Structure 1
């Protein structure tokens, strides 16, 4: 949600949040009073926001817009998706988003020209751009409206910030930045450094990188020497650093820096997942050769949790990708002398200060106090940042292994495996549920029982239960999960992690 708070004004954000809630409601006809209650809004505020939503939708679809200004709202008839509504807000109404597009594409951008094309005042621009300026300042990047310029620690950092701000806004669309010229033959060489299952989106990511590179070089901002990429590639023949040898607008050093910067993204992003792709072994060899200390630190971290906390060793197919992801983020932190604009800065990663979270965070921080960890002196000044990132990378594994966070669910129904397997197949994808066939002998051990019978409560009056009708459609199973989530929150309370 952080991205929308950067790009949308207060009223636009309110419209977006309401539309997001509407998109999650069951498809039926609602009285406005019902929606006001569900959205925690007054009737007057709801009516005002629905009129604003209708005005935005009317630009593309007048018939759909009329649905939002009636006395009731029939969601069965609405067809405008949340993605389409969000795009309309960004592309046509977001001042910060429009400013970034204007700034990147213009050879000599000026605030006066932007104000003239948008028909807005200086005060309106200043008011709407503040959240964007605050986000950029987290990475020591300054957006000056006086000079209509971006200043930062390096040109590479500025490009990374522009990349994420455009990627999350355009969702892969390139139309807003046309026309441009990029060398398509470069993409296959860059993609070779990504796992094959990542190629679909990685190609789109890299294309956006090349588009931003095109405009920055065209407008007089080739990569500078503020970042030292050389340690990443010293003695590594698999990286073709002559990608831009034909570009006459760049010096030899700039050609090399541009190639290094593009390859760097595949070496500093935690994108590895469970896979048998050859790139995993290839990247492991890379770290053994180039940065053995990063690999050793990541190994020490994993070994600590396996031995002291998990009391088990992760399988190799899961452990190796995690090990590489830890090494990749260490590479990123050292390369950027701290943090750099990244995707997860737009996510809410702050763990609630509940008992289980305190335990987990303490275990993380205890690791960084160990004597063998303190010996990694080149990393010690970044321990606080490393701890925060490592905590998020390890968290899914931690949640899965620490079984005490599960909700134990029993299932009792007519003796028919079809019924049990249907429920088991569906609920097996829910990480916090431990499902098993109900056993009267262990009745008190269940947090809740799902039953298809009406007399369960008579036999076991003290056991919480949920009734599931065997005639219900598959689509209704999701409501079962909603009830289980509520029970999980009540049980876990202080123990839950998200």
Structure 2
């Protein structure tokens, strides 16, 4: 389930859906009737929601000028907030988001006090967090109410809290009451371990993770050291297990210090963070996983050998790319540690694709076959309960490098326009740049064989309405080629959906 579906009740979700629709519109002036048709709403409902959005924009930006026009139209240019700003505005009204901020910020949080503060009943709280509760249950996490909070593996709690708060704020605000000086000192001290610290958004992510870390230890919620870290961290001078004590305002026992320090270093490896080849943390990761015998590196090495022969026989060097190797190690290490599903930002922002291309299907099946076989090896027992999840993660990492063309068919496109170079030259050059398109002048005897016909006239459509025809006017420009590209890509994807077996 996507993030907004987890966090918003139906009324908030509807307004967010409308706002995102408005933001994505290519028009300056949009009719409310068109919006209603596209979103399957009745006209009056659309007017009510648009007026509510208009008022909310004035709350976000007092200088906002109304986007509502006469004659049932809206002015898209007057949208004064980004999608991220509007989402965050709505989240402040959403019970799940309010509840999480409440139990992180308050010293003695209870559900009764929360209900008093936000003027909601306990039954309303229970109803409105139900979807999020079901989502967290997948990770063996649950909300608590006697003392408002969460219970389960503390590491997973913090990762889940980060995902929820980051996707709600996207760096535009620090949602927690936090000591910025302490946060900055911690981020500066540990940034060298985190490849994301080299990026603009990465620093904001680290600051939020640090704020959550501080809030949890201030409330007495500590992480235990996991012996599964040992092959990477034990007696490794790269990992400092002492300095944290001087950086936090909370006294730590030696056990707590070891547990919290170990978790910080684990966080540097729990996701495929590497995007920059010239990165000291990447080089350190490749070195550390290589110098000591461990099942993570052995598993990745065996997978790379398999992939060179089966997935990339024409370009085996892909599997020696340090970025690929480092990210495979991180993915495998996280599942080696948790051995169960854990919160994942990508699953909340990318819709599940139940109609993959044939090439993607082939890639995934080959990887899953390897995973199934490897999980039966006693040396890789850690993968038995998570081999399918690992396989999908590996697939997403490798898909951009995988050659899908042997498993796909190009589009056969006919050009039914006046045979004049002035009209068609730009179109043909545009189509030639698309590797998945084969274009030729329209041949009426082959009309049934074309995946798409591009025409400058409605004449062909009137004569043969069943044909897939896209009308492009003579004076088309680059903006007119954008919807054509989207149509071509959608047609190509449908043509090459994985064959059901």
1:397 is aligned, of 380, 398, 401, to 401
Aligned partners of 2:403, 2:40: CA distance in 1, in Å? 32
Deviations 1:275-314 (A, max 9, x none): 3434433321111124543233223323323322443224
Q: Which residue of 1 aligns with 2:377?
A: 374
Which residue matches 2:147? 147
- Residue in 2 aligned with 1:242? 242
Partner of residue 87, structure 1: 88
Name the residue aligned to 2:265.
263
Q: Say whether residues 1:165 and 2:173 are aligned partners.
A: no
Taking a change above 3 Å as real, the CA distance of residues 469 and 68 of structure 1, as seen in their structure-2 partners, is: closer
Correspondence for 1:338: 340
Match of 1:14 in 2: 14
Deviates more, 1:186-195 or 1:133-142: 186-195
RMSD after superposition: 3.9
Aligned to 2:487: 483
1:423 maps onto 2:425 in alignment = no
CA distance in structure 2 between the aligned counterparts of 1:11 and 1:464, rounded to whole angstroms: 38
Cα pair 1:438 1:449 within 8 Å, conserved: no
**In structure 2, do the counterparts of structure 1 residues 195 and 380 end up closer, same or farther at CA, with 3 Å as the change threshold?**
closer
Deviates more, 1:374-383 or 1:32-41: 374-383
Query: Is 416-425 or 186-195 further displaced after alignment?
Result: 416-425
Residues 276 and 228 of structure 1, relative CA distance in 2, 3 Å threshold: closer
- CA 1:280–1:127 in 2, change beyond 3 Å: closer, same or farther? same
In the alignment, what sits opposite 1:75?
75
Residue 327 of structure 2, aligned match among 314, 325, 328: 325
Are the structure 2 counterparts of residues 229 and 118 from structure 1 closer, same or farther at C-alpha, using a change threshold of 3 Å? same
Task: Report the TM-score, using the length of structure 2 for normalisation.
Answer: 0.82
Q: TM-score, normalised by structure 1?
A: 0.82
The gaps in structure 1 that reach 5 residues or longer are 458-462
Structure 2: gaps (5+ residues):
462-466
Q: C-alpha distance in 2, partners of 1:167/1:188? A: 20
Q: Which segment is superposed worse, 346-355 or 409-418?
A: 409-418
Instruction: Give yes or no for contact 1:32–1:73 (8 Å, CA) kept in 2.
Output: yes
2:33 corresponds to which residue?
33
Alpha-carbon distance, 1:36 to partner = 1.3
SS in 2 for 1:275: coil
**Count of matched residue pairs:** 484
- Whether contact under 8 Å (1:419, 1:470) holds in the other structure is no
The superposition leaves residues 87-119 of structure 1 with CA deviations (integer Å, 9 ceiling, x where unpaired) of: 21012x111111111110111112222222212
Q: SS of the residue aligned with 2:430?
A: helix
How do residues 52-451 of structure 1 correspond to structure 2 at under 5 angstroms?
A: 52-60=52-60, 66-68=66-68, 71-80=71-80, 81-91=82-92, 93-153=93-153, 155-181=154-180, 182-195=182-195, 198-225=198-225, 229-246=229-246, 247=248, 249-273=251-275, 275-290=277-292, 292-316=294-318, 319-348=321-350, 350-352=352-354, 356=358, 358-370=361-373, 374=377, 376-382=379-385, 383-398=387-402, 400=404, 402=406, 404=408, 406-407=410-411, 414=421, 419=426, 423=430, 433-434=435-436
Give the deviation of 1:72 after TM superposition.
Answer: 1.7
Residues of 2 paired with 1:473 and 1:21: CA distance? 24
**In 2: Cα distance, 1:376 partner to 1:417 partner:** 61
Mark the CA change 1:402 to 1:235 in structure 2 (over 3 Å): closer, same or farther: farther
Q: Hey, what's the Cα distance between the residues in 2 that align with 1:477 and 1:440?
A: 19
> Displacement of 1:266 after TM fit?
1.5
